[in-house]
Amino acid sequence: MEEWKAGYQERKHDYFCLLCGETVEKGIIYPVGERLYEAARYMAHHIEEVHGSVFDYVSRLDKRITGLSDHQNSLMRLFYRGLSDQEVQKELGIGSASTIRNHRFALKEKERQAKVFLLMMELLKETGKKAAHGNAAPGKKQERQTPFTEAEQAEAMRKYFPEGEFGPLAAFPRKQKQRLVVLGEIAKRFDPGRTYTEKEVNAILEAIYDDYVTVRRYLVDYSFLGRKPDGSQYWVINKGEEQETPMNRKQELKQMYKEAKTEAGVYQIRNTVNGKVWIDGTINLKTMNGKQFMLKHGSHPSKALQKEWNEYGEEAFAFEVLEVLEQKSDPYFDAADALEKLEEKWLNKLQPYGEQGYNERKKR
């Protein structure tokens, strides 16, 4: 809980942002304006700069996750600002100060109920573990699902591994089915009987895809690779097994964060000196700040953009939203597919290639 309150986790070699997955390497001094920050302080600065605060981020979670009504969420935000009952009443224009006190009491009661519920769930998990050990062979774990056909697997392989199964990854898929195919294929490049260090894992993944950190994280999240909590050892998890480490609870909470209400869309990073642009689509436009963070640390996936960022300086670049994805209530609406088409639209319109931009044409 203390890690989640801070918004980041300390690992052996870095600090990991639990809200967006950014990492800050230990042993490096980071400049911010005229100040110099060590890694932990810089991670705190990142959370403040990109996310506002952990409370701000959590309060944007869908009410299905928080269990709070819109009205209760509004009250929580005002209480977090330190307003008195009278000030909250004036801000909302409802009831009286005593009405607000009643709301405070109701939230306190909700907190007490939540604690009892968490206790019951923890005890239930313990009962479940005992039952599992009694009904199954030692070490037997839940089987991983494979919700795709052979045809879907072959199509995904052609699309994402155009140079063959041992070639590099052309792009990291947005759709879960295709992602499972890709991750399963990448996992085959690890020896099932061997334990790897994080450095060894990175070396294998870096040869497959530039953003190897993202691939590594998904391999663990989807239980293709197991990992010790401190990141010191990795190993292949055989099909039919599931990782049982303290990381599972963190992954569960992280998934809750991912379900927060966000605006998807397409944005550009524009060089105001020569007019060149980088076009990208994202499920959360707030992560544009995260891209700026990557550029500041020389870790942006576009080497061409990173090179000119280093050459021209931060002040020469503007981050601009081109179009917000319109969400539809249609149950068959595929947001990921719609976002991909929206990105394609702007790539075709602006042609950010060669002398005009930093994007590379996608391989067909």
Q: What's the CATH number where 292 sits?
A: 3.40.1440.10
Task: Establish if 95 belongs to a structural domain.
Answer: no
Question: Which stretch, 17-26, 170-179, 192-201, 355-364, has highest mean pLDDT?
Answer: 192-201
Task: Establish if 105 belongs to a structural domain.
Answer: no
Q: Helix 70-80 to helix 97-135 angle, to the nearest 10 degrees? A: 110
Whether the pLDDT of residue 241 is over 90: the answer is no
Q: Is 227 in the same domain as 288?
A: no
Q: For position 239, what pLDDT does the model report?
A: 62
32-83 pLDDT, tens digit each:
888 888 888 998 988 888 888 888 888 887 777 778 888 888 888 888 888 8
Confidence class for position 147, pLDDT limits 50, 70, 90:
low
Q: Is 285 in the same domain as 237?
A: no
Structure tokens at 105: 């009491």
Query: H or E segment at 9?
Result: strand 8-10
Structural domain count of the chain: 3
CATH number where 208 lies: 1.10.10
Global pTM? 0.38
| Residue range(s) defining the domain that contains residue 198 | 150-243
> Nearest CA to 238 among 216, 223, 257?
223
Q: For position 260, what pLDDT does the model report?
A: 46
Which of residues 289 and 360 earns the better pLDDT score? 360
Task: Establish if 46 belongs to a structural domain.
Answer: yes
Task: Establish if 126 belongs to a structural domain.
Answer: no
Pairing mode of beta strands 35-37, 30-32: antiparallel
Confidence class for position 139, pLDDT limits 50, 70, 90:
very low
Q: With b meaning 16 or more CB within 10 Å and e meaning fewer, what string describes 82-96?
A: ebebeebbeeeeeee
Phi, psi of 149, deg, nearest 5:
-90, 170
Q: Is 180 in the same domain as 239?
A: yes
Q: Is 157 in the same domain as 234?
A: yes
Q: Is 169 in the same domain as 229?
A: yes
Task: Establish if 29 belongs to a structural domain.
Answer: yes
Task: Establish if 156 belongs to a structural domain.
Answer: yes
Q: Is 154 in the same domain as 238?
A: yes
Residues near 304 by beta carbon (within 8 Å), at least 6 away in sequence = 358
Query: H or E segment at 32?
Result: strand 30-32
Q: Is 282 in the same domain as 345?
A: yes
Pairing mode of beta strands 265-271, 234-236: unpaired
Beta strands in 144-295 (DSSP E): 195-196, 225-227, 234-236, 265-271, 277-282
